[in-house]
Structure 1
Amino acid sequence: MADIGNAPADPSAGADTDAALLAAFAAGDRMAAGQLTTRLGPRVFGLALRLLGDRAEAEDVAQEAMLRLWRIAPDWRHGEARVTTWLYRVTVNLVTDRRRRGRDRMSPLDQVDEPADPSPGVARQMLDAQRHDALQAALMQLPERQREAVVLRHIEELGNPEIAGIMDISTEAVESLTARGKRALAAILAGQRADLGYDDD
Protein backbone atom coordinates (compact mmCIF):
# COMPACT_ATOMS: atom_id res chain seq x y z
CA MET A 1 0.00 0.00 0.00
CA ALA A 2 2.93 2.28 -0.60
CA ASP A 3 1.03 4.38 -3.14
CA ILE A 4 -2.25 4.75 -1.23
CA GLY A 5 -1.26 7.96 0.54
CA ASN A 6 -0.17 10.01 -2.46
CA ALA A 7 -1.35 13.62 -2.55
CA PRO A 8 -4.17 14.31 -5.02
CA ALA A 9 -3.28 15.76 -8.37
CA ASP A 10 -4.12 19.35 -9.24
CA PRO A 11 -7.92 19.24 -9.54
CA SER A 12 -7.95 21.88 -12.28
CA ALA A 13 -5.48 20.08 -14.54
CA GLY A 14 -7.06 19.25 -17.89
CA ALA A 15 -10.51 20.58 -16.95
CA ASP A 16 -10.50 23.30 -19.62
CA THR A 17 -9.30 20.86 -22.28
CA ASP A 18 -12.04 18.37 -21.42
CA ALA A 19 -14.73 21.06 -21.60
CA ALA A 20 -13.34 22.43 -24.87
CA LEU A 21 -13.32 18.97 -26.44
CA LEU A 22 -16.89 18.34 -25.29
CA ALA A 23 -17.99 21.67 -26.75
CA ALA A 24 -16.22 20.85 -30.02
CA PHE A 25 -17.99 17.48 -30.17
CA ALA A 26 -21.34 19.17 -29.54
CA ALA A 27 -20.55 21.50 -32.46
CA GLY A 28 -20.03 18.52 -34.77
CA ASP A 29 -16.32 17.74 -34.40
CA ARG A 30 -16.19 13.93 -34.31
CA MET A 31 -12.43 13.91 -33.76
CA ALA A 32 -13.01 15.66 -30.44
CA ALA A 33 -15.03 12.66 -29.27
CA GLY A 34 -12.10 10.37 -30.02
CA GLN A 35 -9.70 12.61 -28.14
CA LEU A 36 -12.01 12.86 -25.14
CA THR A 37 -12.54 9.10 -25.12
CA THR A 38 -8.77 8.58 -25.16
CA ARG A 39 -8.39 11.01 -22.27
CA LEU A 40 -11.27 9.90 -20.07
CA GLY A 41 -12.28 6.40 -21.15
CA PRO A 42 -9.46 4.56 -19.35
CA ARG A 43 -10.07 6.54 -16.17
CA VAL A 44 -13.79 5.73 -16.18
CA PHE A 45 -13.08 2.07 -16.88
CA GLY A 46 -10.44 1.95 -14.12
CA LEU A 47 -12.86 3.46 -11.61
CA ALA A 48 -15.62 1.03 -12.55
CA LEU A 49 -13.23 -1.92 -12.39
CA ARG A 50 -12.02 -0.96 -8.91
CA LEU A 51 -15.61 -0.63 -7.67
CA LEU A 52 -17.04 -3.73 -9.35
CA GLY A 53 -14.09 -6.12 -9.49
CA ASP A 54 -15.38 -7.50 -12.79
CA ARG A 55 -13.83 -6.51 -16.13
CA ALA A 56 -16.89 -7.17 -18.32
CA GLU A 57 -19.19 -5.27 -15.96
CA ALA A 58 -16.69 -2.39 -15.81
CA GLU A 59 -16.52 -2.22 -19.61
CA ASP A 60 -20.32 -2.01 -19.79
CA VAL A 61 -20.40 0.77 -17.18
CA ALA A 62 -17.62 2.74 -18.89
CA GLN A 63 -19.34 2.48 -22.26
CA GLU A 64 -22.68 3.63 -20.82
CA ALA A 65 -21.03 6.52 -18.93
CA MET A 66 -19.34 7.77 -22.11
CA LEU A 67 -22.59 7.43 -24.08
CA ARG A 68 -24.34 9.57 -21.48
CA LEU A 69 -21.58 12.16 -21.83
CA TRP A 70 -22.16 12.34 -25.60
CA ARG A 71 -25.90 12.72 -25.03
CA ILE A 72 -25.45 15.60 -22.57
CA ALA A 73 -22.83 17.40 -24.72
CA PRO A 74 -25.25 19.77 -26.54
CA ASP A 75 -26.68 20.95 -23.20
CA TRP A 76 -23.36 21.18 -21.32
CA ARG A 77 -22.93 24.47 -19.50
CA HIS A 78 -19.28 25.39 -19.43
CA GLY A 79 -18.06 26.44 -15.99
CA GLU A 80 -20.84 24.86 -13.94
CA ALA A 81 -19.04 21.57 -13.35
CA ARG A 82 -15.93 19.73 -14.43
CA VAL A 83 -16.46 17.08 -17.09
CA THR A 84 -14.54 14.53 -15.03
CA THR A 85 -16.60 15.24 -11.91
CA TRP A 86 -19.83 14.74 -13.84
CA LEU A 87 -18.47 11.57 -15.48
CA TYR A 88 -17.24 10.08 -12.20
CA ARG A 89 -20.60 10.74 -10.60
CA VAL A 90 -22.43 9.02 -13.49
CA THR A 91 -20.01 6.09 -13.22
CA VAL A 92 -20.56 5.69 -9.47
CA ASN A 93 -24.34 5.89 -10.00
CA LEU A 94 -24.22 3.25 -12.75
CA VAL A 95 -22.20 0.97 -10.48
CA THR A 96 -24.74 1.49 -7.69
CA ASP A 97 -27.59 0.67 -10.09
CA ARG A 98 -25.91 -2.58 -11.06
CA ARG A 99 -25.50 -3.56 -7.43
CA ARG A 100 -29.15 -2.86 -6.77
CA ARG A 101 -30.10 -5.12 -9.65
CA GLY A 102 -28.00 -7.86 -8.09
CA ARG A 103 -25.48 -7.89 -10.89
CA ASP A 104 -22.42 -7.15 -8.75
CA ARG A 105 -20.46 -10.40 -9.02
CA MET A 106 -17.31 -10.81 -6.94
CA SER A 107 -15.22 -12.96 -9.26
CA PRO A 108 -11.65 -14.11 -8.71
CA LEU A 109 -9.22 -11.62 -10.17
CA ASP A 110 -7.38 -13.81 -12.62
CA GLN A 111 -7.37 -11.43 -15.58
CA VAL A 112 -4.41 -9.18 -14.82
CA ASP A 113 -3.01 -7.38 -17.84
CA GLU A 114 0.69 -8.02 -18.24
CA PRO A 115 2.73 -4.86 -18.85
CA ALA A 116 3.69 -4.57 -22.52
CA ASP A 117 7.17 -3.28 -21.68
CA PRO A 118 9.43 -6.19 -20.63
CA SER A 119 12.06 -3.88 -19.11
CA PRO A 120 10.96 -4.23 -15.45
CA GLY A 121 11.73 -7.96 -15.64
CA VAL A 122 9.52 -10.94 -14.99
CA ALA A 123 9.97 -10.85 -11.20
CA ARG A 124 8.93 -7.19 -11.04
CA GLN A 125 5.93 -7.82 -13.29
CA MET A 126 4.81 -10.70 -11.11
CA LEU A 127 5.15 -8.60 -7.95
CA ASP A 128 3.21 -5.72 -9.51
CA ALA A 129 0.45 -8.12 -10.60
CA GLN A 130 0.38 -9.67 -7.11
CA ARG A 131 0.06 -6.22 -5.52
CA HIS A 132 -2.73 -5.27 -7.94
CA ASP A 133 -4.63 -8.46 -7.15
CA ALA A 134 -4.15 -8.11 -3.40
CA LEU A 135 -5.32 -4.47 -3.39
CA GLN A 136 -8.33 -5.24 -5.59
CA ALA A 137 -9.33 -8.22 -3.43
CA ALA A 138 -8.99 -6.06 -0.31
CA LEU A 139 -11.05 -3.26 -1.87
CA MET A 140 -13.84 -5.73 -2.63
CA GLN A 141 -14.05 -6.55 1.10
CA LEU A 142 -14.81 -2.94 2.04
CA PRO A 143 -18.40 -1.69 2.39
CA GLU A 144 -19.51 -0.17 -0.90
CA ARG A 145 -19.42 3.49 0.13
CA GLN A 146 -16.02 3.12 1.80
CA ARG A 147 -14.71 1.47 -1.37
CA GLU A 148 -16.02 4.33 -3.51
CA ALA A 149 -14.46 6.97 -1.28
CA VAL A 150 -11.10 5.19 -1.04
CA VAL A 151 -10.88 4.59 -4.79
CA LEU A 152 -11.81 8.18 -5.65
CA ARG A 153 -9.43 9.66 -3.06
CA HIS A 154 -6.38 7.40 -3.11
CA ILE A 155 -6.45 5.81 -6.56
CA GLU A 156 -8.16 8.45 -8.70
CA GLU A 157 -6.47 11.09 -6.49
CA LEU A 158 -9.44 13.46 -6.33
CA GLY A 159 -9.85 16.06 -3.61
CA ASN A 160 -12.42 15.64 -0.85
CA PRO A 161 -14.74 18.44 -2.10
CA GLU A 162 -14.92 16.86 -5.56
CA ILE A 163 -15.57 13.42 -4.06
CA ALA A 164 -18.32 14.93 -1.90
CA GLY A 165 -19.98 16.22 -5.07
CA ILE A 166 -19.65 12.89 -6.84
CA MET A 167 -20.99 10.86 -3.91
CA ASP A 168 -23.56 13.50 -2.87
CA ILE A 169 -22.31 13.63 0.73
CA SER A 170 -20.48 16.16 2.91
CA THR A 171 -16.70 16.56 2.91
CA GLU A 172 -16.73 15.42 6.55
CA ALA A 173 -18.45 12.19 5.48
CA VAL A 174 -15.82 11.72 2.76
CA GLU A 175 -13.04 12.14 5.32
CA SER A 176 -14.69 9.63 7.63
CA LEU A 177 -15.25 7.07 4.87
CA THR A 178 -11.73 7.33 3.51
CA ALA A 179 -10.14 7.15 6.96
CA ARG A 180 -12.14 4.05 7.92
CA GLY A 181 -11.56 2.49 4.52
CA LYS A 182 -7.83 3.07 4.64
CA ARG A 183 -7.63 1.55 8.14
CA ALA A 184 -9.66 -1.45 6.99
CA LEU A 185 -7.43 -1.95 3.94
CA ALA A 186 -4.32 -1.80 6.12
CA ALA A 187 -5.81 -4.44 8.42
CA ILE A 188 -6.81 -6.69 5.53
CA LEU A 189 -3.38 -6.45 3.91
CA ALA A 190 -1.36 -6.55 7.15
CA GLY A 191 -0.47 -10.22 6.88
CA GLN A 192 0.66 -9.85 3.27
CA ARG A 193 3.09 -6.95 3.61
CA ALA A 194 6.27 -9.01 3.39
CA ASP A 195 4.98 -11.12 0.49
CA LEU A 196 4.03 -7.98 -1.40
CA GLY A 197 7.38 -6.33 -0.82
CA TYR A 198 6.14 -3.67 1.62
CA ASP A 199 8.13 -4.86 4.61
CA ASP A 200 10.46 -1.87 4.42
CA ASP A 201 7.80 0.93 4.52
Structure 2
Amino acid sequence: MNETHTALLQALHDEHAPALWRYALRLTGDDQLAQDVVQESLLRLWNSPEILEQGEPASRAWLFTVARNVVIDERRSARSRREVRSPDLPDVSRTDPIDSALDAWVITDVLTQLTPDHRTVIVRAYYMGQSVAELAAELEVPEGTVRSRLFYGLRALRLALQERGLTRR
Protein backbone atom coordinates (compact mmCIF):
# COMPACT_ATOMS: atom_id res chain seq x y z
CA MET A 1 0.00 0.00 0.00
CA ASN A 2 1.42 3.38 -0.94
CA GLU A 3 1.61 6.56 1.11
CA THR A 4 -1.56 7.98 -0.47
CA HIS A 5 -3.58 4.95 0.65
CA THR A 6 -2.05 5.13 4.11
CA ALA A 7 -2.96 8.80 4.41
CA LEU A 8 -6.51 8.09 3.15
CA LEU A 9 -6.92 5.27 5.65
CA GLN A 10 -5.63 7.47 8.47
CA ALA A 11 -8.09 10.23 7.49
CA LEU A 12 -10.98 7.74 7.32
CA HIS A 13 -10.01 6.34 10.70
CA ASP A 14 -9.82 9.76 12.31
CA GLU A 15 -13.14 10.82 10.84
CA HIS A 16 -15.22 7.65 11.12
CA ALA A 17 -13.79 5.44 13.88
CA PRO A 18 -15.77 7.09 16.74
CA ALA A 19 -19.07 6.82 14.84
CA LEU A 20 -18.21 3.28 13.74
CA TRP A 21 -17.46 2.33 17.34
CA ARG A 22 -20.81 3.75 18.55
CA TYR A 23 -22.59 1.83 15.79
CA ALA A 24 -20.79 -1.41 16.73
CA LEU A 25 -21.51 -0.80 20.41
CA ARG A 26 -25.20 -0.37 19.66
CA LEU A 27 -25.16 -3.67 17.72
CA THR A 28 -23.15 -5.66 20.28
CA GLY A 29 -23.75 -4.05 23.65
CA ASP A 30 -20.14 -4.91 24.49
CA ASP A 31 -17.43 -2.24 24.59
CA GLN A 32 -14.54 -4.62 23.93
CA LEU A 33 -16.31 -6.41 21.11
CA ALA A 34 -17.23 -3.06 19.54
CA GLN A 35 -13.56 -2.07 19.57
CA ASP A 36 -12.67 -5.39 17.94
CA VAL A 37 -15.33 -4.81 15.27
CA VAL A 38 -13.89 -1.36 14.47
CA GLN A 39 -10.38 -2.78 14.27
CA GLU A 40 -11.49 -5.64 12.00
CA SER A 41 -13.44 -3.26 9.74
CA LEU A 42 -10.45 -0.95 9.35
CA LEU A 43 -8.16 -3.91 8.73
CA ARG A 44 -10.43 -5.12 5.94
CA LEU A 45 -10.43 -1.61 4.49
CA TRP A 46 -6.63 -1.62 4.63
CA ASN A 47 -6.65 -4.91 2.69
CA SER A 48 -9.08 -3.47 0.08
CA PRO A 49 -7.32 -0.44 -1.44
CA GLU A 50 -9.83 -0.35 -4.32
CA ILE A 51 -12.48 0.81 -1.81
CA LEU A 52 -10.22 3.65 -0.69
CA GLU A 53 -9.94 4.82 -4.29
CA GLN A 54 -13.74 5.18 -4.57
CA GLY A 55 -13.73 8.17 -2.25
CA GLU A 56 -14.99 9.10 1.17
CA PRO A 57 -18.78 8.48 0.99
CA ALA A 58 -18.35 5.01 -0.53
CA SER A 59 -15.62 4.11 1.98
CA ARG A 60 -17.79 5.18 4.91
CA ALA A 61 -20.76 3.13 3.71
CA TRP A 62 -18.47 0.18 3.05
CA LEU A 63 -17.00 0.43 6.58
CA PHE A 64 -20.42 0.38 8.24
CA THR A 65 -21.55 -2.56 6.10
CA VAL A 66 -18.40 -4.48 6.98
CA ALA A 67 -18.90 -3.69 10.69
CA ARG A 68 -22.47 -5.03 10.52
CA ASN A 69 -21.24 -8.20 8.79
CA VAL A 70 -18.47 -8.70 11.34
CA VAL A 71 -21.04 -8.53 14.15
CA ILE A 72 -23.30 -11.01 12.34
CA ASP A 73 -20.36 -13.37 11.79
CA GLU A 74 -19.45 -13.12 15.46
CA ARG A 75 -23.01 -13.92 16.54
CA ARG A 76 -23.12 -16.93 14.22
CA SER A 77 -19.76 -18.30 15.32
CA ALA A 78 -19.60 -21.45 17.39
CA ARG A 79 -17.61 -19.58 20.04
CA SER A 80 -20.46 -17.12 20.52
CA ARG A 81 -23.03 -19.88 20.90
CA ARG A 82 -20.98 -21.71 23.52
CA GLU A 83 -20.06 -18.66 25.58
CA VAL A 84 -22.14 -17.81 28.60
CA ARG A 85 -21.90 -14.21 29.65
CA SER A 86 -22.15 -13.34 33.29
CA PRO A 87 -22.06 -9.93 34.90
CA ASP A 88 -20.35 -11.45 37.93
CA LEU A 89 -16.66 -12.18 37.77
CA PRO A 90 -15.45 -15.36 39.46
CA ASP A 91 -13.69 -15.00 42.77
CA VAL A 92 -9.96 -14.59 42.45
CA SER A 93 -8.07 -17.42 44.03
CA ARG A 94 -5.86 -16.19 46.83
CA THR A 95 -3.01 -18.17 48.24
CA ASP A 96 -2.65 -18.24 51.95
CA PRO A 97 0.78 -16.88 52.95
CA ILE A 98 0.91 -19.37 55.83
CA ASP A 99 0.46 -22.29 53.42
CA SER A 100 3.21 -20.93 51.19
CA ALA A 101 5.54 -20.54 54.16
CA LEU A 102 4.79 -24.07 55.36
CA ASP A 103 5.36 -25.49 51.87
CA ALA A 104 8.71 -23.70 51.63
CA TRP A 105 9.68 -24.96 55.08
CA VAL A 106 8.78 -28.58 54.24
CA ILE A 107 10.62 -28.48 50.88
CA THR A 108 13.70 -26.96 52.53
CA ASP A 109 13.62 -29.64 55.22
CA VAL A 110 13.23 -32.44 52.67
CA LEU A 111 16.04 -31.01 50.49
CA THR A 112 18.42 -31.25 53.44
CA GLN A 113 17.81 -35.02 53.49
CA LEU A 114 19.14 -35.41 49.93
CA THR A 115 22.77 -36.01 49.09
CA PRO A 116 24.73 -32.80 48.41
CA ASP A 117 25.08 -33.71 44.69
CA HIS A 118 21.34 -34.23 44.26
CA ARG A 119 20.44 -31.14 46.28
CA THR A 120 22.87 -28.95 44.29
CA VAL A 121 21.50 -29.87 40.86
CA ILE A 122 17.86 -29.62 41.96
CA VAL A 123 18.28 -26.21 43.58
CA ARG A 124 20.33 -24.80 40.72
CA ALA A 125 18.09 -26.23 37.98
CA TYR A 126 14.65 -25.57 39.49
CA TYR A 127 15.22 -22.56 41.73
CA MET A 128 18.04 -20.78 39.93
CA GLY A 129 16.95 -21.73 36.40
CA GLN A 130 20.26 -23.11 35.22
CA SER A 131 20.28 -25.46 32.23
CA VAL A 132 21.85 -28.92 32.20
CA ALA A 133 24.71 -27.58 30.06
CA GLU A 134 25.37 -24.71 32.48
CA LEU A 135 25.33 -27.07 35.45
CA ALA A 136 27.65 -29.52 33.73
CA ALA A 137 30.17 -26.78 32.93
CA GLU A 138 29.99 -25.26 36.39
CA LEU A 139 30.22 -28.59 38.25
CA GLU A 140 32.79 -29.94 35.77
CA VAL A 141 30.84 -33.16 35.14
CA PRO A 142 29.27 -34.57 31.97
CA GLU A 143 25.73 -33.49 31.06
CA GLY A 144 24.56 -37.09 31.44
CA THR A 145 25.73 -37.04 35.06
CA VAL A 146 23.72 -33.87 35.70
CA ARG A 147 20.61 -35.45 34.15
CA SER A 148 21.12 -38.59 36.23
CA ARG A 149 21.51 -36.57 39.43
CA LEU A 150 18.36 -34.62 38.61
CA PHE A 151 16.39 -37.80 37.93
CA TYR A 152 17.48 -39.62 41.07
CA GLY A 153 17.37 -36.48 43.20
CA LEU A 154 13.76 -35.77 42.20
CA ARG A 155 12.90 -39.40 42.84
CA ALA A 156 14.40 -39.17 46.34
CA LEU A 157 12.58 -35.86 46.92
CA ARG A 158 9.24 -37.42 45.93
CA LEU A 159 9.88 -40.43 48.17
CA ALA A 160 10.70 -38.18 51.14
CA LEU A 161 7.48 -36.20 50.57
CA GLN A 162 5.49 -39.44 50.31
CA GLU A 163 6.95 -40.63 53.61
CA ARG A 164 5.60 -37.45 55.20
CA GLY A 165 2.19 -38.06 53.60
CA LEU A 166 2.40 -34.97 51.43
CA THR A 167 2.05 -36.54 47.97
CA ARG A 168 0.15 -39.42 46.42
CA ARG A 169 1.90 -42.72 46.10
TM-score, normalised to structure 2, is: 0.41
Q: Which has the higher contact order (CA 8 A, sep 6+)?
A: 1
Give the greater-gyration-radius structure (CA).
2
Structure showing the higher helix proportion among its residues: 2
